[in-house]
Amino acid sequence: MHNKSVAHLVQGLREKQFSSVEVTRCFLDRIAARDSQYNSFISVDETSALAAAKAADKQLAGGDAATLTGIPIAHKDIFCTDGMRTSCGSRMLDNFVPPYDATLIQRFKRDGAVILGKTNMDEFAMGSSNENSFYGPVKNPWNTDLVPGGSSGGSAAAVAALLAPAATGTDTGGSIRQPAAFCGITGLKPTYGRVSRLGMVAFASSLDQAGPMAHSAEDCALLLNTMAGLDPLDSTSSEMPVEDYRARLDNSLEGLRIGLPREYFGDGLDKATGECINVALKELEAQGATLVDVSLPHSQLTIPTYYIIAPAEASTNLSRFDGVRYGHRCDNPTDLHDLYTRTREEGFGDEVKRRILVGTYALSAGYYDAYYKKAQQVRRLIKQDFMDCFEQVDIIAGPTTPGPAFALGAKSDDPIAMYLEDVYTLAVNLAGLPGMSVPAGFVDNKPVGLQLIGRHFDEARLLNVSHRYQQATDWHLQHPAGGQS
Q: Which of residues 130-189 bind another protein (CB under 8 A)?
A: none
Amino acid occupying residue 377: Q
351 to 211, 420, 453: CA distances (angstroms): 24, 15, 29
Q: Is 361 in the site for another protein (CB under 8 A)?
A: yes
Q: How many CA atoms lie within 13 A of 178 on its CB side?
A: 37
Q: Is 190 in the site for another protein (CB under 8 A)?
A: no
> How long is the chain?
485
Taking CB under 8 A as the binding criterion, the range among 179-187, 216-224, 230-238, 388-396 that sits at the site for another protein is: 230-238
- In the set 325, 391, 444, 485, which binds another protein (CB under 8 A)? 325
Closer CB to another protein, 446 or 456, in the complex = 456
- In the set 29, 145, 293, 345, which binds another protein (CB under 8 A)? 345
In the complex, the smallest distance separating the C-beta of residue 264 from another protein, rounded to whole angstroms, is 19
Closer CB to another protein, 51 or 330, in the complex = 330
Q: Is 339 in the site for another protein (CB under 8 A)?
A: yes
Name the catalytic one among 90, 129, 175, 412: 175
Closer CB to another protein, 35 or 421, in the complex = 421
Closer CB to another protein, 166 or 201, in the complex = 201
Taking CB under 8 A as the binding criterion, the range among 221-229, 260-268, 300-308, 441-449 that sits at the site for another protein is: 300-308
Q: Is 175 a catalytic residue?
A: yes
3-state secondary structure of 398: strand
Beta strand 210-214 with 257-261: parallel, antiparallel or unpaired? Answer: unpaired
Q: Is 151 a catalytic residue?
A: yes
Whether 164 and 72 have beta carbons less than 8 Å apart is answered as yes
3-state secondary structure of 428: helix
Q: Is 409 in the site for another protein (CB under 8 A)?
A: no
In the complex, the smallest distance separating the C-beta of residue 379 from another protein, rounded to whole angstroms, is 5
According to DSSP, the residues that pair with 143 across neighbouring strands are: 140
List for the chain the helix, strand, coil content (%; round to 5): 45, 15, 40
Q: Is 368 in the site for another protein (CB under 8 A)?
A: yes
* Strand order, beta sheet including 72-76: 41-43, 114-119, 72-76, 166-170, 210-214, 186-189, 435-443, 446-454, 395-399, 257-261, 290-294
- In the set 108, 142, 245, 371, which binds another protein (CB under 8 A)? 371
Name the catalytic one among 5, 40, 151, 196: 151
How far is residue 336's CA from residue 151's CA, in Å, rounded to a whole number?
A: 33
Burial 128-156 (b: 16+ CB within 10 A, else e): bbbbbbbbebbbbbbbbebbbbbbbbbbb
DSSP annotation string for 98-129 = -SS--HHHHHHHHTT-EEEEEE--SGGG--SS
Q: Is 300 in the site for another protein (CB under 8 A)?
A: yes
Whether 155 and 198 have beta carbons less than 8 Å apart is answered as no
Residues 80-99 that bind another protein (CB under 8 A): 80, 86, 88, 93, 95-99
Q: How many CA atoms lie within 13 A of 406 on its CB side?
A: 18
3-state secondary structure of 322: coil
From the list 102, 168, 172, the residue with the least C-alpha distance to 432 is: 172
Closer CB to another protein, 109 or 342, in the complex = 342
Q: Is 431 in the site for another protein (CB under 8 A)?
A: yes
Q: Is 40 a catalytic residue?
A: no
Beta strand 257-261 with 114-119: parallel, antiparallel or unpaired? Answer: unpaired
DSSP annotation string for 237-248 = S--SPPP-TTTT
In the complex, the smallest distance separating the C-beta of residue 236 from another protein, rounded to whole angstroms, is 7
Name the catalytic one among 76, 109, 189, 411: 76
Taking CB under 8 A as the binding criterion, the range among 126-134, 254-262, 371-379, 473-481 that sits at the site for another protein is: 371-379
Burial 380-409 (b: 16+ CB within 10 A, else e): eebbebbeebbeebbbbbbbbbbbbbbebe
| Cβ neighbours for 271, distance < 8 A, ≥ 6 positions apart | none
In the complex, the smallest distance separating the C-beta of residue 365 from another protein, rounded to whole angstroms, is 5
How far is residue 241's CA from residue 372's CA, in Å, rounded to a whole number?
A: 33
Residues 238-277 that bind another protein (CB under 8 A): 238-239
Residues 375-404 that bind another protein (CB under 8 A): 375-381, 383
In the complex, the smallest distance separating the C-beta of residue 159 from another protein, rounded to whole angstroms, is 23
- In the set 2, 76, 215, 344, which binds another protein (CB under 8 A)? 344
Taking CB under 8 A as the binding criterion, the range among 114-122, 253-261, 325-333, 443-451 that sits at the site for another protein is: 325-333
Residues 6-65 that bind another protein (CB under 8 A): none
Closer CB to another protein, 14 or 380, in the complex = 380
- In the set 63, 391, 416, 485, which binds another protein (CB under 8 A)? 416
Residues 456-485 that bind another protein (CB under 8 A): 456
Whether 433 and 386 have beta carbons less than 8 Å apart is answered as yes
Within 10 Å of residue 254's Cβ, how many Cβ atoms? 9
Site size for another protein (CB under 8 A)? 100
Taking CB under 8 A as the binding criterion, the range among 57-65, 114-122, 152-160, 355-363 that sits at the site for another protein is: 355-363
Catalytic center residues: 76, 151, 175
